[in-house]
Amino acid sequence: MSDSPSESTVTPQAHVAEQRQRACVLAQALRQELQKVLIGQTDVIDDVLTALIAGGHVLLEGVPGLGKTLLVRALARCFGGDFARIQFTPDLMPSDVTGHAIYDRQSEQFKLRKGPLFTNLLLADEINRAPAKTQAALLEAMQERQVTLEGHALPITQPFMVLATQNPIEQEGTYPLPEAELDRFMLKLRMDYPDAEQELEMVRQVTRSTRADMLDVHAPRIVLQAKDVLALQRIASELPLDGQVLAYAVQLARATRTWPGLSLGAGPRASIALARGARARALLRGGEFVLPDDVKGCALAVLRHRVRLAPELDIEGLSVDQVLRQLLDQVPAPRT
């Protein structure tokens, strides 16, 4: 009986450590399954998992044919959640996204028909091909996890994640996303062409597939359920975040507001996203606490769509990422 007090103090810590370890194993299993499907995009996969664990939304930009849609379908398959896809087109109406009321002749009443927005994982494909009014139909759902139809606030089942794809804005027939909507995406990711070796392996696997020009998305196995994703989000949110590391995250966001070469800085949502993203990255790598490198690792994806390049630098051919990398190199990170 004499050692029972120490037992009572150690047990909760051991329980937390065990939960954290199990969460890390689940996250690693999810990463491995996605890597089977999407070849040569390890950074994109890690960033998408970061957003999933942090409970955020993702805007994925890249030219057609790089596997953006394939990644989202594979992710939905891996965690056994509900999946819906909306193909954004210039004639898409907001009610096609959120749902609408229809008149039932038998009951002589209006009934609400929920739209594809009511799902766990929503693929908003080529979101910048629809006008701003239709894009705005996502705003309430992304921020408040609910949709208001005919005056009724209908909750969306958790977990809920919007993963929107867009082609580069220079392409014909695209509309820029409103800043209010951009700010609600936790991360903006850029998917680049694979290197020669990765493309060779991709072609080898695709040409072996029974499907014409794509890998079989049914190949991934279900490694966790929707409730497990919620558990991952909870465990990540409880990871220790030192005050100095938190201050570093806020300092990065605030630095964009006065940084030379940026005409528009990031708002407070960026500070929040940096802290949430850092915790998710720490869990992905199996860490027991958040490091400054976890903050820095997600900073580009958090900030690039929340800032605007000064016109003179744009004319010189500099990119937002180049300016942000200079900022990340010059803002000192805590050493202890």
Task: Single out the residue of 79, 65, 59 nearest to residue 206, CA to CA.
Answer: 65
CB contact set of 78 (below 8 Å; sequence gap of 6+): 30, 33, 34, 220, 221, 222, 223, 224
The pTM of the full predicted model, rounded to 2 decimals, is 0.87
**pLDDT confidence bin for 166, thresholds 50/70/90:** confident
Query: Within 184-336, where are the H helices?
Result: 196-208, 226-237, 243-255, 268-284, 292-303, 311-316, 320-330
**Which domains, and CATH codes, for the chain?**
4-238 (3.40.50.300), 240-336 (1.10.8.80)
Q: 251-306 pLDDT, tens per residue?
A: 999 999 999 999 999 999 999 999 999 999 999 999 899 999 999 999 999 999 99
Each residue's pLDDT tens digit, 109-160: 777 888 999 999 999 998 988 888 888 888 889 989 999 887 888 899 899 9
Can you give the pLDDT at residue 321? 94
Q: Which of 225, 221, 192, 175 is nearest to 66 (CA)?
A: 192
Q: Is pLDDT at 204 greater than 90 in this prediction?
A: no
- The mean pLDDT value of the chain amounts to 86
User: Measuring CA to CA, which residue among 195, 191, 119, 194 is closest to residue 154?
Assistant: 119
Report whether pLDDT(171) > 60. yes
Separation of alpha carbons 264 and 257, rounded Å: 6
The mean per-residue pLDDT over the stretch 7-11 comes to: 51
